[in-house]
């Protein structure tokens, strides 16, 4: 057997876990090679099963905005742990978290805590259908939803949808096990195409319950929505009585304290949150207008429940994180370091003669083997995936762990100080030289 502990664990895992991993991107299928099994983490670093240290730019896919094992976060969790693991009953800490979210995100008047982003998005969608249908059609109709190619909202059946065969055709399942009867009500449009939105509402406006969007996409790499696209969406939803839902699982408290909606100055009807609000523990939420949220049971007819919702250990972790990110200058420093990283890598990539660029918003970034920053799903698909895969492994060899896919955003934490960022850029300079052929 190989002396590589990562390889040993991967071979062992495949005997009892499908594909050897509990979430597909971890398997390294798109980049090739053996996934790294992580043994511990601290600050901006984690270590694999062989004891090799990496500068971590996935940050548990976004939550670790203050760095791994921050002492104040650990202390808060330890204090909660001593009081009990879970109660299945309300706690004061849940109320405090709800109050904090409502205070920080003006569009959220009421909020419900859940345990995962998928659960939050699925529940928000059900609520949107219930609320929009009740308001406009006496409780009947309005079952159609709009989403956008390249946006990911978790693995609920009605959201695992790819575009139909043509404009204004309803979507097809993008996963086995999803009946076409479920996705027939989901219309998939092009991201950043306001005219398609206009056409969709003209054709189906009275039947559309909800438009759900990542206001800054992070699941086809980082792609910013144009202001025109989002403002058109807001106007049409208001005009036709549909619910506008921003999926800010990734961007919430990551790109700015008020999320992407605070950057664009748009007030959605519902917002889906996750990742940062849990600080690395399983906490997510959905919230919005009070009149919409009060359609939820036990007040209204839209059912949603969860045994571990508002878990006291997870909430303690999330609240400690939310307090830290409100320190004066936190986002200025985070944004500066993320920009320093992206600008440094862009200069290095172009100096090596490569078509390379990057973009950054708050503590979130994208890198692209392309001459200019992509603005659509099609443009993302045209980036040089093979070159990215070679770069990914060259960086991994040099102790830098990027997202193992050309179609995922990256994340910087407050622990990524200038020295860590400069070390990353130096590694990138060497990696670019290695792959520039």
- Indicate which residues carry an active-site annotation: 152, 247, 275
**Cis peptide bond prior to 361, omega within 30° of 0:** no
CB-CB neighbours of 136 under 10 Å: 17
Q: Residue 293 and residue 285: Cα distance in Å, rounded?
A: 12
Q: Which of 263, 272, 212, 273 is nearest to 237 (CA)?
A: 212
Burial (Cβ within 10 Å: 0-12, 13-18, ≥19) of residue 143: middle
DSSP helix/strand/coil, 271: strand
Asked whether 247 and 121 are in contact (CB, 8 A), the reply is yes
β pairing state of 284-288 and 110-114: antiparallel
Bridge partners of residue 46, in order along the sequence: 41, 54
What are the C-alpha distances in Å from 350 to residues 146, 343, 353?
Answer: 38, 11, 5
In order, the DSSP letters of 80-137 are: HHTT-S--SS--HHHHHHHHHHHHH-TT-SEEEEES-HHHHHHHHHHHHHHHHHHHHH
Q: Which of 215, 211, 213 is nearest to 255 (CA)?
A: 215
Taking the CA atoms of 230, 236, 237 and 242 in sequence, report the sign of the dihedral they define: negative
């Amino acid at each position: 057997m190989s002396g590589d502990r990562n390889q040993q664990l991967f071979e062992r895992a495949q005997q009892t876990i499908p594909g050897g991993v509990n979430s597909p991107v971890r398997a390294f299928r798109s980049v090739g090679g053996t996934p790294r099994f992580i043994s511990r983490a601290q600050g901006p670093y984690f270590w694999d099963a062989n004891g090799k240290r990496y500068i971590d730019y996935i940050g548990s896919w976004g939550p670790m905005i203050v760095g791994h094992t921050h002492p104040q976060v650990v202390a808060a969790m330890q204090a909660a742990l001593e009081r009990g693991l879970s109660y299945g009953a309300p706690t004061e800490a849940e109320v405090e978290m709800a109050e904090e979210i409502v205070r920080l995100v003006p569009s959220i008047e009421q909020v419900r805590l859940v345990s995962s982003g998928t659960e939050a998005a699925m529940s928000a969608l059900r609520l949107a259908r219930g609320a929009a249908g009740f308001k406009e059609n006496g409780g009947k109709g309005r079952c159609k939803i709009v989403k956008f190619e390249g946006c990911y909202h978790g693995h609920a059946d009605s959201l695992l949808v790819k575009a139909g065969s043509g404009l204004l055709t309803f979507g097809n399942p993008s996963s086995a096990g999803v009946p076409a009867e479920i996705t027939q009500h989901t219309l998939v449009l092009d991201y950043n195409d306001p005219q398609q939105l206009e056409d969709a509402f003209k054709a189906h406006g009275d039947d559309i319950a909800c438009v759900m969007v990542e206001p800054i996409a992070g699941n086809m790499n980082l792609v910013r929505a144009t202001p025109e696209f989002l403002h058109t969406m807001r106007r049409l939803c208001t005009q036709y009585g549909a619910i506008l839902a921003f999926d800010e699982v990734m961007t919430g408290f990551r790109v700015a304290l008020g999320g992407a909606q605070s950057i664009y100055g748009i007030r959605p009807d519902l917002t889906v949150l996750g990742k940062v609000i849990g600080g690395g523990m399983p906490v997510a939420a959905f919230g919005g207008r009070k009149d919409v949220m009060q359609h939820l049971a036990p007040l209204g007819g839209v059912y949603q429940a969860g045994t571990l919702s508002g878990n006291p250990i997870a909430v303690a972790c999330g609240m400690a994180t939310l307090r830290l990110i409100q320190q004066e200058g936190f986002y200025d420093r985070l944004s500066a370091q993320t920009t320093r990283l992206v600008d440094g890598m862009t200069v290095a990539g172009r100096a090596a003669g490569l078509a390379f660029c990057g973009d950054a918003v708050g503590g979130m970034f994208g890198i692209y083997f392309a001459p200019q920053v992509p603005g659509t799903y099609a443009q993302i698909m045209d980036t040089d995936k093979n070159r990215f895969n070679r770069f990914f492994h060259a960086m991994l060899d040099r102790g830098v762990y990027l997202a193992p896919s050309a179609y995922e955003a990256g994340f910087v934490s407050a622990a990524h100080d200038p020295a860590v960022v400069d070390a990353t850029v130096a590694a990138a300079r060497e990696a670019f030289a290695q792959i520039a052929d």
